[in-house]
A and B are shown apart, each in its own frame.
Chain A
């Protein structure tokens, strides 16, 4: 999951970047509203954390502009101003949730996961497909009620595919959302991950959960148990 953090306090931004990168997010960050807007326009993000008190362009304006640009990724507001006037204004102008400073990093992680999942149309923290169940809170996969071990990168790939079921996801898109920009984008590595995932998800090759569309990318094609109709 590629994440944008816009926070002007250097220490706090560094903490957030580290904690969320450790949690498996690919994190970009900006120290003011202007560079935040530049980043948001440049990249395709899965979610953003935006502080309301930002230099150059304030948080509210930044969120408004991002929404006007047609970007729909979920936005989590960070605010020191714990009053309803500010919260309502932030949510009103296009943010999806808020966290009041100071906060526990665990809370930010939980909120972000929920926002990403919700944006994909899932209302529960567990993504249920026929025979497959991915617990996004505990980051665990069960196949036919049996837990299956996944590496961090395997989990990331699977989660991304499961959050976009039925949609063709290109290798470039996957790389962009799963790796840092300076990472060597070797598509062979991705192919290896997909092959391993197929083995783990479907050892007897009866389900065939991931489709390869030649020249375009991959598609997760297992019928979902709890996906809204418009998302399939």
Chain B
């Protein structure tokens, strides 16, 4: 089954810490609870044994032998006299025959009691537990003694119901659960807060990096904890070297363009010279030269277009800045006014100050340069430039009063993927490059009819 790759990746720091702390919490609280429970139960059991022993001594103290067995005249403990009180006394002889039982034990059936078969040495006490159908769970102490006046051994046995001590243990346990539960909750909250506090710089760093990626920031700010300081410093170095690398890459490709285009210019010149020579000699070969010209032009277009693509960085890899749009637009208009001086073009402006573009300045320059150059080239004398930030989008609109672009041609002109080598000769690569830039920034481009009468090209980007 398909699983999102994220869940397969390494656990997040938060998950790791929560898991580790959770396991530790359970182990610690569980163990502590177990030890406390054990200790309490043992101390309760010891107290019971001590009480039973004392009762045995009490019976011994008042026991007087007679012909029928033993006579215990005044038992201080009232529970021995009260029937089914929960405290029972027995005296057995060496053969295990009952010689006496306390009035409280009238209903107690001793046949299943395992201590009946026990042989306890004089002076020894054996403790134990037994289940009875009527009286429930009982704890007992079996004390062996030698009665010198009768020259016989006897067992003095005291049984006591464990019901009250069980209740005591249960109450202790429920208290224990309550306290430990509360403690676990408190520790969990503390852990949550600690994690948030501890991981906050990491989150901040992630946010800074994403805002650098979005072009809102230039570099990571200082002031991180020492552990992260090294990361943020190295990150800044990486960003810087990445920018430099991009710059070098671009320069290299520019040099490549330079070194390819000059030979192309030379070849074009040679073709011209050959043509002139042929004309002077009256020789033919015009079509071959024309074809050579066409191929040269194609080569040139392919080189230009692909180099323009290559030197432009992908939006996703941008470590760029916010660029003010207006100075760039004004610079290009100034330059073009010079080139198209003969046309004396009037440029109407609707420019919103502070309009910004997130990306490389060279991309913005290329975009505006191509749009405005087309407008200057095809206008009859008037151009309108609109730049604005609307609903968190940057909108650049260039209109002219030229002949416009026919409706059936618009889609074809804008088709993404119109490749340099499929362009018709003389068509120019300006608009193809513009479309490329727009799509690499995930922007939109559309062609419409301008109020001025010509084409209106509208480009918009998410800011």
B366 CB-CB contact with A under 8 Å:
yes
A19 at the interface (CB under 8 A from B): yes
Q: Which residues of A contact B308 (CB under 8 A)?
A: 82-83
Contact with B along A15-47 (1 / 0, CB 8 A): 110110000000000000000000000000000
Chain A residues whose C-beta falls within 8 Å of the C-beta of B272 in the assembled complex? 15, 19, 104-105
Do the beta carbons of A12 and B311 come within 8 Å of each other? no
- Do A92 and B331 contact each other (CB < 8 Å), given the known contacts A19-B269, A82-B304, A101-B261? yes
Closest to B367 in A: A84
Closest to B335 in A: A91
Query: Which one of B265, B266, B362 lies within 8 Å of A83 (CB-CB)?
Result: B362
Could you show 18 A-B contacts with beta carbons less than 8 Å apart?
A12-B269, A15-B269, A15-B272, A15-B273, A19-B272, A83-B369, A84-B362, A84-B365, A85-B362, A87-B369, A91-B334, A96-B338, A96-B339, A104-B272, A105-B269, A114-B342, A118-B341, A123-B341
Q: How far is the CB of A116 from chain B (nearest CB, A)?
A: 13
CB within 8 A of A87: which of B260, B267, B304, B335?
B335
A101 and B272 alpha carbons, distance in the complex (Å) = 15
Contact with A along B367-379 (1 / 0, CB 8 A): 0111000000000
- Residues in B with CB closer than 8 Å to A192 are none
Contacts of B231-285 to chain A: CB distance below 8 A: 254, 257-262, 264-270, 272-273
Do B265 and A97 touch (CB < 8 A)?
Answer: no
Q: A80-B257, A85-B365, A123-B344 are in contact. Are A103 and B265 (CB under 8 A)?
A: yes
B300 at the interface (CB under 8 A from A): yes
Q: Give the CA-CA distance A105 to B254 in the complex, in Å.
A: 23
Write the nearest CB–CB distance from B383 to chain A, whole angstroms: 16
How would residues 75 to 103 of chain A score, 1 for a CB under 8 Å from any chain B CB and 0 otherwise? 00000111111011001100011101111
Residue numbers in A under 8 Å from B300 (CB-CB): 102
Q: Is the CB of A97 within 8 A of B339?
A: yes
B452 within 8 A of A: no
Task: Determine the distance from Cα of A82 to Cα of B253 in the docked complex, in whole angstroms.
Answer: 12
Contact B331 A53 (CB under 8 A): no
Choose one: A9, A18, A84; the contact of B368 (CB below 8 Å). Answer: A84
Please name all residues of chain B whose beta carbon is closer than 8 Å to the beta carbon of A15 when the two chains form the complex.
266, 269-270, 272-273
Bound: A80/B370 CA distance, A: 17
| Residues on B with beta carbons closer than 8 Å to the beta carbon of A92 | 331, 334-335
Residues of B within 8 A of A88 (CB): 331-332, 335, 365, 369
Asked if A9 contacts B342 (CB within 8 A), the reply is no
B residues within 8 A CB of A82?
Answer: 257, 304, 307-308
Tell me the minimal C-beta distance from B296 to chain A in angstroms.
7
A138 within 8 A of B: no
User: Are B296's CB and A102's CB within 8 A?
Assistant: yes
Q: Which of B266, B270, B368, B369 neighbours the largest number of chain A CB atoms within 10 Å of its CB?
A: B266
Q: Which of A11, A96, A102, A114 contacts B261 (CB 8 A)?
A: A102
Contacts of B370 in A (CB 8 A): 84
Q: How far is the CA of A103 from the CA of B365 in the complex (A)?
A: 23
Q: Min CB distance, A128 to chain B, in Å?
A: 15
Whether A11 pairs with B304 at a CB distance below 8 angstroms is no
Give A14 Cβ to nearest chain B Cβ, in Å.
9
Residues of A within 8 A of B334 (CB): 91-92
> Complex: how many Å from CA A103 to CA B296?
10
A102 to chain B: which residues have CB within 8 Å? 261, 264-265, 267-268, 296, 300
Cα-based distance from A139 to B84 in the complex (angstroms): 142
> Is the Cβ of B261 less than 8 Å from the Cβ of A84?
no
Could you list 16 further interchain pairs (A-B, Cβ under 8 angstroms) beyond the known A91-B338, A92-B335, A101-B264? A9-B266, A11-B266, A12-B269, A15-B269, A80-B262, A81-B257, A81-B258, A83-B254, A85-B361, A85-B365, A88-B332, A101-B261, A102-B265, A102-B300, A104-B272, A105-B268
In Å, the complex CA distance between A212 and B339 comes to 37
Decide: A118 near B258, CB < 8 A? Known: A84-B365, A92-B334, A92-B335. Answer: no
CB-defined contacts of B341 to chain A, threshold 8 Å: 96, 118, 123
How far is it, in angstroms, between the C-alpha of A147 and the C-alpha of B147 when the chains are bound? 166
A109 to chain B, nearest CB (A): 11
User: How far, in Å, is B246 (CB) from chain A's closest CB?
Assistant: 14
